[in-house]
Amino acid sequence: MPQPILSIRDLHVSLRLGGTEHDAVRGVSLNLNKGEVLAIVGESGSGKSLTALSVLGLLPRGIAAISSGEIHFDGKDLAQASNAELDRVRGSGIGIIFQEPLSALNPVMRVGDQIIEGIVRRGEASRKQARKMALETLIGVRISDPERRMKQYPHELSGGMRQRAMIALALVSNPAVLIADEPTTALDVTVQAQILSLLKAQQKSRDLSMIIITHDLGIVAEVADRVAVMYAGEIVEAGEVETILSRPKHPYTLGLLSCLPEFSDGGRRLAVIAGSIPSLTESVSGCVFKTRCPLYMQGPCDARIALTSGPDGHAFRCIRPIGSETPAESEQTRHA
Amino acid sequence: MLDLLNITRRYRVSAGLLSTRILTAVDKLSLSLRKGEFFSLVGESGCGKSTLARIVCGLEAQSEGEMRIDGKTITGTAEFADKGLRRRVQMIFQDPYSSLNPRMRIRDILAEPLISLGWGNAQAVQTRVAELASIIRFPDSALERFPHQFSGGQRQRVAIARAIAANPDLLICDEPVSALDVSIKGQIINLLLDIQEQLGTTILFISHDLSLVRKISDRVGVMYLGSLVEVAPAQQLFADPRHPYTRLLIESVPALNGKRREEQVLAAGEMPSPFAIPSGCRFRDRCPLAFDRCATEAPGLQPVTSDERHLAACHLRAQPAPRPAERPPVTIPQIDLFRTAAETTTP
Amino acid sequence: MTQVAATGRPAPSLLSRVVKTTTRDPILLCAVLFLLGVAVSVVFAEWIAPHNPLRTSLRHQAKLPSAQFWLGTDEQGRDILSRIIFGLRITLMTSLSGLVIGIGLGSIIGLVAAYFRRLDMLLMRIIDVILSFPAILIGLGLAGVTGGGNAGIIIALAVATVGPAARIARSAALTVVQMDYIAGARMVGLSDTQILLRYVLLNCLASIIVYATLRFGQLILLAASLSFLGLGVAPPAPELGVMVSQGRALLLTAPHVALMPCAVILLLVLSLNLVGDALRDALDPQMKA
């Protein structure tokens, strides 16, 4: 098996809230293989964005920091790298696009200049060459009237075009990996479809390895090869997208699926995962999902649960996974 | 319950130092809601659905057109000064973090509409507050707290309780669950469905989430650049969409099974600026079926068949939608595990 | 519906947060204690001041600080400490009056301008006019009319404060007015007055209070400057600005006469600024949350 292009091992990220430190990402390990699309799925508070930001050292300074763990890329451990070393990786090694282009793009700089500035600063090309590269990339992201767009400011572009500009900005230096943090959440559904198809096309044509962070399982199904489900700072399930979305083993994944309108068959009511995610200040002993899990069993679920991996790469953190019980046992659970 | 006839809303927008442009946010929109029905309005940003919501609940006045609530004609915001009318139409907003006064306790937030709209004496108000608290499952201690001590989903429940406090006849929900996590959305949706079924409240539900709307609505209306382009009973709209924009929307939603048809989605381009709405049919520059008549004559919202309930604003409305390839239904083992939990707690 | 009832997060009380913040920062703690000390001595001046501030003494003219006169004496033999204590009372009352009137009027104008957009332009132009008047000239003019005394100073201070206060209040209110809860207030039939008071004002209060604390320091300086120029109460009344003015003649021989009141003004304004900053930091996350 070839080495994964990006490997995160036992990552811990701490968050400072009101003077105290909390573990917001706890022991996350992920491998991204070359040419594959990995989705990280979770709701608010799952730690998915923090995980993505920590790869490129983009955690908000003073508030969040990597407390332990390794991030291997191109022979280096990014978790230990200095800002100068990370700077060399950003853009040409790993690119990143964010949810809100309005706040990710500099509002007082023309779009073209922003793209060119990065190239020139990294010493990859002269200004003239950089301009050519920027134009080519903008054409590649199918932005309309690219010459004109280069001279415009971000606020003059529509939401979809801004997102394309951000994608161009991230891809212009041909990075090997692209991290997309909720790239379509702020967009209308028709624009979202276009951006997703653009990302897929770019990923194929550049043989990019991509990490896409989202809360939308539909996007996962459409774009990703593998998926990792995060809850309260931990990975609770990971594996091939087709397997996870049709035969999930962890109750939380099942819960996420069952809450979708597609699975509310019969009545109009939607399923709900009772309770709410434990706050950062509460410490939960054992399974972090136990306060909301209908399969919770006092005793076994109160002890720390490790990630179990199957031979097909399907990993889950549960001692009573879906499908492991006999029908008789299921009935018993239902009436408990 | 609600009758809208050719409602139009225009804004003056400054476009440079001395000039102004006219923005038509809602353009001759007509719609009627039956009492007790759950009507969803879908559309993308800029289609005017939020503006329409504000007009219906009296926060803004229409520039032209007639509005009737339960027979009573409304010309602008003045009529809503009458507390009797004010009580009957209420709204729930999208952002749970800005829809509650941060300086008021939950108890006061719930009591305020009762006091202002004349529910009764102090005792009656407190009784009703206790009732509302139990509907949204808030214990007594929670009533003394402030909004910032609660999560988004919990705040939204407070917003709903406040909106239904004085028993409105029409409840407008402007994207009430868009800002909430997937596992929490159901709480709010189920509560709204309870309100509709048990109290007979008419609900106007605004959303951009098509799969949600399909499951919970009686009827659905699709808006584009200020106009209604299609209206139909929910199942029919999704089974047989007659307007190309509706088809585009449905096709754009990422689904769990099956891949979508890329070409159709990509060819659709971008929404035109609301200042430069195309002549004739407003969708024609993105429509795969557009022909010459579309540029000269704007199609009205007309029935697609003899059945009056399904309307579409398209010259080709009589042609049924091409049948998409049958997508195999996804069956997931134990998918009802959380469903059982949900059902037992419905009050 | 959820199984577990919604109880919400418990929040630490205001008092515990205040205590926590002050004890963490020693300089802030000093500032708070100093202000408390000032407040106490101003209220109980008659009991705290060791000497009669008006009592002159030819024997003890311009004496340096000693056991008998903790801060020394001025050119007429009066105890500086006692004069400062009574002087603080005058300075603070003058500044406070100007502050309250200025902030009060300014806030009303600012809030109304932000809430009733049609009045915004008109009101803000009026404020612009007021802002262009230098406070000192107003004070001079009024002194000419009222013949000295504190009324003139108070009015000058108030006029100088109305402008910036209106801007601050308007700025805070503009954010508040966009919020959905304002629309929610209209939805339940509240009148504009009710909304302005219960919703807009309450939510802008934090910004206004923070500004008031910082402005208080500036007004103290302004009041002292105006009385230094001779526009306020006349000597022998102990007022800090007047004391500095009178001490000018002795600056080379007995500098403490002028410098002591100066130092007190400095400490007072510094403490107010520190507390104002801390207040802003404390109230900000609350506002965001």
pLDDT at A268 over 50: yes
Q: What's the pLDDT at B159?
A: 94
Q: Does B262 touch chain A (CB under 8 A)?
A: yes
CA dihedral B138, B144, B150, B154 (to 10 degrees): 30
3-state SS class at C269: helix
pLDDT at A86 over 90: no
Q: List all residues 6 or more positions away from A220 whose beta carbon is below 8 Å from its beta carbon.
A: A39, A41, A212, A214, A227, A241, A245
pLDDT, greater one: B232 or C280 = B232
Distance from CA of A275 to the nearest CA of C (A): 6
Indicate yes or no: CB of A221 within 8 angstroms of CB of B340.
no
Cα–Cα distance, A230 to C48 (Å, whole number) = 66
Distance from CA of B59 to the nearest CA of A (A): 25
Lowest mean pLDDT among A315-319, B167-171, B189-193, C14-18: C14-18
Average pLDDT over residues C70-83: 80
Q: Does B340 touch chain A (CB under 8 A)?
A: yes
Q: Does C199 touch chain B (CB under 8 A)?
A: yes
When pLDDT is cut at 50, 70 and 90, the band that residue C147 belongs to is low
Q: What is the ipTM of this complex?
A: 0.85
Q: What's the pLDDT at A334?
A: 46
Indicate yes or no: CB of A271 within 8 angstroms of CB of B254.
no
% chain B with pLDDT above 90: 34
Indicate yes or no: CB of B333 within 8 angstroms of CB of A247.
yes
Q: Does C8 touch chain B (CB under 8 A)?
A: yes
Q: What's the pLDDT at C216?
A: 92
Cα–Cα distance, B207 to B211 (Å, whole number) = 10
Nearest residue, CB atoms, C9 vs list B102, B149, B191 = B149
Average pLDDT over residues B105-126: 91
Q: What's the pLDDT at B347?
A: 37
pLDDT, greater one: B218 or B290 = B218
Q: What's the pLDDT at A336?
A: 41
Lowest mean pLDDT among A37-46, B116-125, C49-58, C251-260: C49-58
Q: What's the pLDDT at B342?
A: 43
Distance from CA of C1 to the nearest CA of A (A): 7
Average pLDDT over residues C18-45: 83
Rounded to two decimals, the pTM is 0.85
Indicate yes or no: CB of B157 within 8 angstroms of CB of C188.
no
Chains that touch C (3 or more CB pairs under 8 A): A, B
Average pLDDT over residues B189-197: 91
Average pLDDT over residues C61-74: 78
Residues of A in contact with B182 (CB under 8 A): 43, 215, 217, 256, 259-260
Segments making up each domain of chain A, as ranges: 6-231
What's the token pair of residue A102? 């309005």
Name the closest residue on chain B to residue C181, using Cα atoms. B99
Give the pairing of strands B64-69 and B72-74: antiparallel
Name the closest residue on chain C to residue B93, using Cα atoms. C180
pLDDT at B345 over 50: no
User: Domain A6-231 in CATH: superfamily?
Assistant: P-loop containing nucleotide triphosphate hydrolases (3.40.50.300)
Residues of C in contact with B99 (CB under 8 A): 179-181, 184
Indicate yes or no: CB of A274 within 8 angstroms of CB of C3.
yes
When pLDDT is cut at 50, 70 and 90, the band that residue A231 belongs to is very high
Residues of C1-37 as b/e, b for ≥16 C-beta within 10 angstroms? bbeeebebeeeeeeeeeeeebbeeeeebeebbebbee
Nearest residue, CB atoms, C7 vs list B90, B139, B148 = B139
Average pLDDT over residues B101-110: 91
Q: What's the pLDDT at C1?
A: 42
Residues of C in contact with B175 (CB under 8 A): none
Best-predicted range by mean pLDDT (A35-39, A91-95, B67-71, C29-33): A35-39
User: Terminal CA-to-CA distance of chain C, rounded, Å?
Assistant: 26
Helix, strand, coil percentages in chain A from 3-state DSSP, rounded to 5: 35, 20, 40
Indicate yes or no: CB of B257 within 8 angstroms of CB of A215.
no
Residues of C197-217 as b/e, b for ≥16 C-beta within 10 angstroms? ebbbbebbbbbbebbbbbbbb
Residues of B in contact with C121 (CB under 8 A): none
Taking only the tens place, the pLDDT of each residue in A141-190 is 888 888 888 899 998 888 888 999 999 999 988 899 999 999 988 888 88
Cα–Cα distance, B277 to B283 (Å, whole number) = 9
DSSP, residue by residue, C112-152: HHHHSHHHHHHHHHHHHHHHTS-HHHHHHHHHHHHTSSHHH
Task: Pick the closest to residue B298 from B279, B317, B276 (CA basis).
Answer: B279
Cβ under 8 Å to B: A residues 157-216:
158-161, 188-194, 196-197, 215-216
Indicate yes or no: CB of C189 within 8 angstroms of CB of B116.
yes
Domains and CATH numbers, chain C: 24-49+70-283 (1.10.3720.10)
Taking only the tens place, the pLDDT of each residue in B49-81 is 999 999 999 898 889 898 998 888 888 888 888
Nearest residue, CB atoms, B215 vs list A43, A245, A268 = A268
Indicate yes or no: CB of C2 within 8 angstroms of CB of A279.
no
Give the pairing of strands A209-214 and A37-41: parallel
Task: Pick the closest to residue A290 from A236, A227, A331 (CA basis).
Answer: A236
| Inter-residue contact B305 to A239 (CB < 8 Å) | no
pLDDT at A335 over 80: no
DSSP, residue by residue, A214-227: ES-HHHHHHH-SEE
When pLDDT is cut at 50, 70 and 90, the band that residue C169 belongs to is very high
Indicate yes or no: CB of C3 within 8 angstroms of CB of A279.
no
Task: Pick the closest to residue C82 from C47, C57, C45, C53 (CA basis).
Answer: C53
Name the closest residue on chain C to residue A279, using Cα atoms. C9
Residues of B in contact with C209 (CB under 8 A): none
